């Protein structure tokens, strides 16, 4: 007979010799698989429009030249899970808008995303969608559609300040898209991942902003071709953008101009 009262050290759901709880081991396996998938993907050979709004042009040179990030700053599995979850939220937002009567197109008639390329294909972008018709909201169709899924604090900041002030990278992304796709405005939609609240903002095309971003992209390509780095965005490594940059240690290395 089995003695169920015997004190063997067994904890329900966990064997005595397990190095970590079951959930942690499962998550480690998932993250390792996602990281392996990412390692197997062909890296971009172009400057993506989604990155041109990055405030630090020096960081863009590092990214475009595929410079290794600082040790420990690689994309972790949790970050990759966040990216994939964002795609699921985007699919939901597409369904909701279509159900509400918006004629939202996410693929070209022959298949594939709407997008553009310029500078011999060295600058490219792929958009979430284009709305070509919908309810009478005072918008002139067609408009670019850009969607982001944000955590609660980031969503609230965006809803309070507007996308240009709160998320300049997203604002720049839309300006570049509109410039090269000939669209006069955009509808920016942000979903709160914690509450499923939706924030929508009409973003007009700003030709001056788009030109400045395009010029910055060209500067990045020229610097990369010449093996040079552009100026840092700050004068010391304590600047908040530098603290979170995956190239910070390399950028501020002693003797690095």
- Residue 131, SS3 per DSSP: strand
Environment class of residue 80 by beta-carbon count within 10 Å: exposed (0-12), middle (13-18) or buried (19+)?
A: middle
With b for 16 or more beta-carbon neighbours within 10 A and e for fewer, the 200-225 pattern comes to ebebebbeebbeebbebbeebbebbe
CA 143 – CA 196 distance, rounded (Å):
23
Q: pLDDT at position 14, please?
A: 53
Paired residues of 126 in beta bridges: 115
For 83-127, how does the pLDDT look when each residue is reduced to its tens digit (9 = 90+)?
Answer: 888 899 999 999 999 999 999 999 988 888 899 999 999 999 999
**What confidence score (pLDDT) does residue 228 get?**
95
Question: Which residue numbers in the chain have pLDDT < 70?
Answer: 1-18, 254-256
The DSSP output letter for 141 is S
Q: Residue 171: exposed, middle, or buried by beta-carbon count in 10 A (0-12, 13-18, 19+)?
A: buried
Cα–Cα distance for residue pair 137/101, rounded to 1 Å: 12
This prediction has a pTM of 0.85
Say what the pLDDT of residue 10 is.
45
CB 179 within 8 A of CB 215: no
* Structural contact between residues 49 and 177, judged by C-beta atoms closer than 8 angstroms: yes
Paired with 187 in beta bridges are 145, 202
Pair 133, 104: CB distance under 8 Å? no
The confidence score (pLDDT) of residue 211 equals 97
The pLDDT value recorded for residue 69 is: 93
Buried b (16+ CB within 10 A) or exposed e, 97-133: beeeebebbeeeeeeeebebebeeebbbbebbbbbee
Strand, coil or helix: what is 93?
A: helix
pLDDT of residue 152: 97
Rounded distance, CA 144 to CA 136, Å?
Answer: 17
Model pLDDT, residue 9:
47
Task: Catalogue all structural domains in the chain, each as residue range(s) with its CATH number.
Answer: 56-251 (3.90.320.10)
């Amino acid at each position: 007979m089995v003695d169920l009262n015997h004190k063997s050290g067994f904890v329900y759901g966990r064997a005595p010799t397990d190095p970590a709880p079951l959930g942690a081991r499962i998550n480690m396996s998932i993250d390792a698989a996602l990281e392996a998938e990412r390692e197997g993907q062909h890296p971009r050979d172009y400057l993506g429009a989604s990155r041109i709004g990055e405030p630090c042009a020096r960081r863009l040179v590092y990214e475009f030249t595929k410079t290794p990030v600082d040790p420990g700053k690689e994309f972790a599995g949790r970050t990759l899970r966040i990216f994939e979850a964002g795609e699921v939220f985007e699919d939901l937002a597409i369904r909701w808008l279509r159900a509400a009567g918006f004629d939202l197109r996410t693929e070209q008639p022959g298949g594939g995303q709407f997008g553009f390329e310029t500078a011999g294909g060295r600058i490219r972008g792929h958009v979430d969608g284009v709305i070509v018709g919908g309810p009478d909201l005072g918008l002139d169709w067609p408009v670019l559609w850009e969607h982001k899924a944000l955590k609660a604090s980031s969503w609230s900041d965006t809803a309070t300040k507007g996308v240009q002030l709160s998320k300049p990278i997203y604002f720049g992304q839309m300006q570049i898209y509109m410039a090269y796709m000939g669209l006069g405005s955009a509808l920016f939609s942000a979903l709160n991942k914690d509450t499923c609240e939706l924030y929508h903002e009409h973003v007009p095309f700003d030709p001056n902003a788009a030109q400045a971003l395009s010029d910055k992209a060209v500067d990045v390509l020229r610097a990369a071709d010449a093996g040079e780095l552009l100026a840092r965005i700050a004068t010391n490594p304590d600047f908040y953008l530098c603290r979170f940059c995956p190239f910070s240690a390399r950028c501020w290395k002693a003797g690095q101009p």
